[in-house]
Amino acid sequence: MHPPVEVAAPDRPLETEYRPKHPLHLMLTVGIQQRGTHDPTQTISGPVLWRASRTPSGVATLALREASPGVIRAAAWGDGREWALAQVPALCGAHDDLTGFDASRHPLIAHAHHRNPGLRLSRTELVFDALAGAIMEQKVTGLQAFGAWRHLVTGYGQRAPGPTPRPMFAPPSIAGWRAIPSWAWHRAGLEPPQARTIVEAARRGPALVRAAERATGGTARDAVLTSVRGVGAWTAAETRARALGDADAVSVGDVHLSHEVGYALAGARTDDAGMLDLLAGWKGHRQRVIRLIRLSAAREPRRGPRLHPEDHRDR
């Protein structure tokens, strides 16, 4: 059985308005933070985007909606509500700097950029949550990873406060991730190497997070994150993109990404080296280009059946 879930007492929200100085498509920008349709930490209900987070000040629920063009209304509940509201600009891409980005280098990128002027690169500033989620996505289908995230966050996280449209949960604390029993990882559908990697990262916990936050540039951040056994370049890049809004993060080693980039920019599949060559002209903005490619109409025709996830939990 799972441990009892602590339910936060309801309280009155704090509210504020955010008026971005740039075009902003709220759902497109912050939606990247959601891990699957049934993510217990983020959902969209009508015009409102809801997030449940474990902030440095405690658990918080954040509700965001576009009240009018150029005006984002934000409300937050819980002990971490002040932190959550202060973080809204970063979440909505306020720190995303397009200086030096030249969409005209390729017609597909120019078209996608023109059609999506409100795309910004979001950052949660919650490194460990992003790292744990990325580790779960190593070498498995998205369906498996999102299911594991949902199972573990719902079972070992904390119920989010406020009038959420469905029960939502903040992820476990770093100590909470470390304390999850071995059988629970198995029942969530994770392989032992993934579980061991998350536990090892949690063992180093706050020191690892502080080092990643202090590091400047992708190379330095990668060195910090990949110092954890089981964390490679792909996992580090995924963490940097979500938690720190790294505009240059490239998930080398992804089973599909190089094919997507090659097909979009050159009309044919390529490998990681070829992908990096194709993206070289956008150094500093390669994550932005990848996002634009995925928002474009460029789709390689499927050549075979879909990969079906393997369920090893009854072994």
Residues in the chain: 315
CATH for the stretch 12-300: 1.10.340.30
Count the Cβ atoms, other than its own, within 10 Å of residue 279.
Answer: 19
Residues 244, 247, 252: CA angle, nearest 5 degrees: 95
CB 269 within 8 A of CB 259: yes
Q: Is it the case that residue 309 has pLDDT exceeding 80?
A: no
- The answer to whether residue 225 scores a pLDDT higher than 60 is yes
Structural contact between residues 35 and 149, judged by C-beta atoms closer than 8 angstroms: yes
Helix axis angle for 257-266 and 107-115, nearest 10°, is: 100
At 260, the amino acid letter reads E
Predicted confidence at residue 255, as pLDDT, reads 87
pLDDT exceeds 90 at position 303? no
Name the residue ranges covered by the structural domains of the chain: 12-300
Q: Is 7 exposed, middle or buried (0-12, 13-18, 19+ CB in 10 A)?
A: exposed
For 110, the token pair is: 């120019």
> Is 308's pLDDT higher than 60?
no
Q: For residue 12, name the pLDDT band (cuts at 50, 70, 90).
A: confident
The model's pLDDT over 231-280, given as tens digits with 9 standing for 90+, comes to 999 999 999 999 999 999 999 999 899 999 999 999 999 999 999 999 99
- pLDDT tens for 23-63 read 999 999 999 999 999 999 999 999 999 999 999 999 999 99
> Please, what is the angle between helix 286-295 and helix 107-115, to 10°?
80
Tens digit of pLDDT for each residue in 54-79?
999 999 999 999 999 999 999 999 99
- pLDDT score, position 162: 96
Enclosing H/E stretch for 233: helix 233-244
Give the pLDDT of residue 4. Answer: 39
With beta carbons less than 8 A apart as the criterion, state whether 119 and 25 touch: yes
pLDDT in tens, 79-122: 999 999 999 999 999 999 999 999 999 999 999 999 999 999 99
